[in-house]
Amino acid sequence: MPSIQPVIVWFRRDLRLADNPALARAAAMGVPVVPVFILDEATPGLRPPGGASRWWLHHSLAALDRDLAELGARLILRRGPAGAELDTLIAETGAGTVLWNRCYDKGSIARDADIKETLRDRGVGAESFNGALLAEPWEITTKAGGGYKVYTRFWQACRAAGDPPPPVSAPVAMAAPGTWPRSDDLADWALTPRSPDWAAGFSDHWLPGSAGAMDRLARFLDGAVMDYADRRDFPARPATSGLSAHLAWGDIGPRQVWAAAVGQAPAGQGRETFLKELVWREFAHHVLFHFPDLAEQPMDAKFDAFPWAPDDDLLTAWQRGQTGYPIVDAGMRELWATGTMHNRVRMVAASFLVKHLLQPWQVGEAWFWDTLVDADPASNPFNWQWVAGCGADAAPYFRIFNPTLQGQKFDKGGDYVRRWVPEIAGLSDKHLHSPWTAPADVLAEAGVVLGRDYPEPVIDHKRARERALAAFKSLKRG
């Protein structure tokens, strides 16, 4: 009598049990299931996760292993080229099938296609599923059959298609193999920083894993969603869902979020705006699929000739939150301390780097890739290109945020700036967002010496704006 062949479920950015089509399919097969995560940093074309994302990955993998243990299973960890590691696991387990949920960056697409072809040629079943998006990038298309470049039309097409399929349930039981294959020890991967532990404060803000994601979603839908449209731009207020990192690593799926929002949140502008933000994430993946070089090349080819002015000192000042513009500096410091930054402030900080300082958007994208816990291959470059004016549905070139006015409008009481830039906390609201305008006696009373306690602005806003407009207009003449 032939032996029963196990099935391997290859986890990637889908680190959950519920709404996991590959896992659900494996559990339904009635054969032993071997859950596997492969840290693939060796296959050409893949972008390794940044430092903050690696911290999240460590804790999300630990949470997934605990969740699997409740089903009598475990998570097998391997490190190396995914194709080679899967070959080894197939040999060790006798697996007859490998299942996974799709990723949409060009490196993963190329690798996965090669693996699928190789496995099938060897008589091993291989199947992939959609576990990351509301709809596949090729399912929502223009009348001409291509990809969308304007968000509003993409949103309208998504809504015309109706609600996405409901999320699939988590398995209630899975058969285990008679012998488990060898697994790496998660601690040996050294995904979390140690000397120094610059992520020491992350745990005060985040609980990676499905339980943390579901808790955040429940709390958001229980209150904040109703005022989301009106309050989401104010960084001192707890008005956003905080789900972006959970979505980036798949602690929760977008179909779970959509179904919960539609089923639990009251209809209104708050819920509608939240769903639009979920579809904005979808739009980023849609664009990435149709423009696979999103992280390296501007979608608008004219930007190949943009007169950037690379300057390491200006870049460092921005990275360290030492630009002299409090709302920008507060955001950059929040990013370093927590692994995230409020979305409104992200736009201001990114615009400042690109348009005030004329630094290439790619260097900002790389910094966010390394420091954001929610960095993913689609949203990170997509949003940077949007801010820079060279991407899909991009911000117009003449939209240059005035960081002082942005601070005054969205942090009127100064709570956000005072939290993250404490050296100027003693300044009045009138001068908090523009310390260089404060009279000497006001600065003295607040205990602030510009250039010593807090920097002078690295550039004058008016001059920066004029320089940026001239740079952008040079593209139109070219």
Tell me the pLDDT tens digit for each residue of 65-79: 999 999 999 999 999
Write down the catalytic residue from 180, 189, 198, 308.
308
Residues of the chain with CATH 3.40.50.620: 7-131
For the cut 70, the answer to whether the pLDDT of residue 283 exceeds it is yes
The reply, when asked if residue 393 is annotated as ligand binding, is no
Q: In what order do the strands lie in the sheet with 76-79?
A: 76-79, 33-39, 7-11, 97-101, 125-129
Which phi and psi angles does 47 have, rounded to 5°? -105, 110
206 annotated active-site = no
For the cut 50, the answer to whether the pLDDT of residue 428 exceeds it is yes
CATH of domain 133-166+210-290: 1.25.40.80
The reply, when asked if residue 243 is annotated as ligand binding, is yes
Write down the catalytic residue from 384, 386, 402, 420.
384
For the cut 50, the answer to whether the pLDDT of residue 1 exceeds it is no
Residues of the chain with CATH 1.25.40.80: 133-166+210-290
402 annotated active-site = no
The reply, when asked if residue 230 is annotated as ligand binding, is no
Does the domain at residues 301-477 carry the CATH identifier 1.10.579.10?
yes
For the cut 90, the answer to whether the pLDDT of residue 110 exceeds it is yes
| Both structure tokens of 174 | 């899975």
Distance CA 124, CA 296 (A): 35
Q: What percent of the chain has pLDDT over 90?
A: 96
Q: Identify residue 349 by its one-letter amino acid code.
A: A
Write down the catalytic residue from 127, 136, 277, 423.
277
Q: Which residue has the tokens 């058969």?
A: 175
308 annotated active-site = yes
423 annotated active-site = no
| pLDDT bracket for residue 395 (50, 70, 90) | confident
For the cut 50, the answer to whether the pLDDT of residue 442 exceeds it is yes
Model pTM score: 0.96
280 annotated active-site = yes
Residues of the chain with CATH 1.10.579.10: 301-477
The reply, when asked if residue 376 is annotated as ligand binding, is yes
C-alpha distances (whole Å) from 281 to each of 100, 243, 285 are 21, 11, 7
369 annotated active-site = no
CATH class of the domain at 7-131: alpha beta
The reply, when asked if residue 351 is annotated as ligand binding, is no
The reply, when asked if residue 129 is annotated as ligand binding, is no
Write down the catalytic residue from 206, 318, 361, 367.
361
| Both structure tokens of 385 | 């290109």
Write down the catalytic residue from 92, 127, 189, 343.
343
The reply, when asked if residue 228 is annotated as ligand binding, is yes
